[in-house]
A and B are shown apart, each in its own frame.
Chain A
Amino acid sequence: MSREPGLAELAVFAASGHTGALSKLSSVGDGLSYQAAKDPAGFVRAVGAYKAGLAAAVAEVGALKGARAVYSQALLATALN
């Protein structure tokens, strides 16, 4: 039976220093809206770094267990559709 990630797993992530990768990736788009007019150099850097961000998010979510995690893993796996 699948289970949802618990606090113990979150603690592992917190200790790994790789937390929040998915949050960061999901917020890049909104950041680009701002950078488009205010920070062109930052925009170019952000676009150039998205593959690393995606890889980090895939790794982060890939370490989670549970039905929801599996579904999110599939969403990220098809992100470059």
Chain B
Amino acid sequence: MGTGALLAGGATLTKGYDLTEVPLFVRAGAVVPSTDVGAGATTLGGAMATVYAALTFTIYPGAAEGAGVAYEDDGVSDAYLIGRHAAVTCSYVHAKAGGGGRAGDGDKGGKAGGGKAGDGDGDGDGETDAATTTTVTLSRNGSFPQQGHTPRVYKVAIVSTMPPANVTARGRAVPHASSLAAVSAFGAHTGAAAGATAGAAGAATWWYDGPSMTLHISTEAIDLSSVAAHHAIEFTTIAPVDDAQLSGLKGVFAHANLAKDNLDMTRAEPGAHDTRGGAPAWSKWPSWRRHTRPPRAPQTAFEGLGLAF
């Protein structure tokens, strides 16, 4: 899990995590490529797939610009030694909307990286500050025979950002999705289904996931080799992206939910309800049990025999 908190390097950190969490540290501003473990995948993560059916680039906060590369080859031979390989590059630039050069003045409080656009005043009023315009560029260099020209869906996830007022891809407006699932649905993992993966009808779409403070943008299935130079996605946020304000917010929501889940097991928290859908665990118990302590696994062999102490 990631908390979205920006941390200064060169320090020893002491942090607390729930057992369900796995700490994840990423260099500020990094772009990390990944692929999904989809239905029909024959290898874990498609790591040995000849051609990835879909690629995700996750852009982390803390820098005004950055890039990441996904390398591909046929996965089985040494043909890469004679140049039969390809690389998809995802690069981004954050800038203040309406021009004004590159961002980077939002860095304060010992954060790593240069910060995104915005004056860093943290007021979030969205009135006097210029919003942030982000341009994401996808391009491909090289090729190998197995790759062909099969269109592929690309997904870009921008972590700890503000939602967009508008999103365009190659100059065309990208509509808001009906759900995160619609953006994340890559469909079958292997080859042929790639064309019908983004959104419900294979169209580009976007979704802002509040709990993770992450903007997800999915392209339509495209063949980067047929695009003249690159595939550009651009969006302007509804308000300036202030790294100091957004730092750690994702972790706050995650821990609040964990804390609530923990207390809801005993109905200890007033006004308890399940914020993530479905009935709370205690409501599934027999009615006579709802006013008693929650069930729990025996903690000792003796307790299991009714000899708790």
Q: Which residues of A contact B (CB under 8 A)?
A: 4-5, 10, 13-14, 19-20, 22-23, 25-37, 40-41, 43-45, 47-48, 50, 54, 57, 60-61, 64, 66, 68-69, 71-81
Q: B16 at interface (Cβ–Cβ under 8 A)? A: yes
Q: Given contacts A37-B176, A72-B262, are A13 and B270 in contact (CB under 8 A)? A: yes
Known pairs A23-B271, A23-B272, A71-B262; A80 contacts B251 (CB<8 A): yes
Complex: A10 Cα to B272 Cα, angstroms: 11
In chain B, what residue has the closest Cβ to A64?
B268
**Residue among B15, B246, B273, B275 having the largest count of chain A Cβ atoms under 10 Å:** B275
**13 A-B pairs, CB-CB below 8 angstroms?**
A4-B266, A23-B260, A28-B210, A29-B213, A40-B163, A44-B124, A72-B262, A75-B259, A76-B256, A78-B17, A80-B248, A81-B15, A81-B248
Once the chains bind, are A5 and B266 in contact (CB under 8 Å)?
yes
Interface string of B263-281 (1 = CB under 8 A from A): 1011011111101100000
Q: Given A19, A31, A78, which contacts B210 in the complex, CB threshold below 8 Å?
A: A31
Judge whether B203 is part of the interface by a CB distance below 8 angstroms: no
Query: How many residues of chain B have a CB within 8 Å of chain A?
Result: 51
Contact among B123, B212, B252, B268 for A66, CB-based, below 8 A: B268
Is B75's beta carbon under 8 Å from chain A? no
Say if the beta carbon of B208 comes within 8 Å of chain A: yes
- The verdict on B144 contacting chain A, using a C-beta distance below 8 Å, is no
**Which of B3, B15, B258: most chain A CB closer than 10 A?**
B258
**In whole angstroms, how far apart are the Cα atoms of A14 and B245 in the complex?**
32
A66 / chain B contacts, CB cutoff of 8 Å: 266, 268
Other than the known A68-B262, A80-B252, A81-B17, what 8 A-B pairs have Cβ atoms closer than 8 Å?
A14-B270, A23-B273, A23-B275, A28-B256, A29-B210, A43-B238, A47-B124, A54-B256
A33 touches B238 (CB 8 A): no
A57-B211 in contact (CB<8A): no
Chain A residues closer than 8 Å to B259, beta-carbon distance: 22, 26, 57, 61, 71-73, 75-76
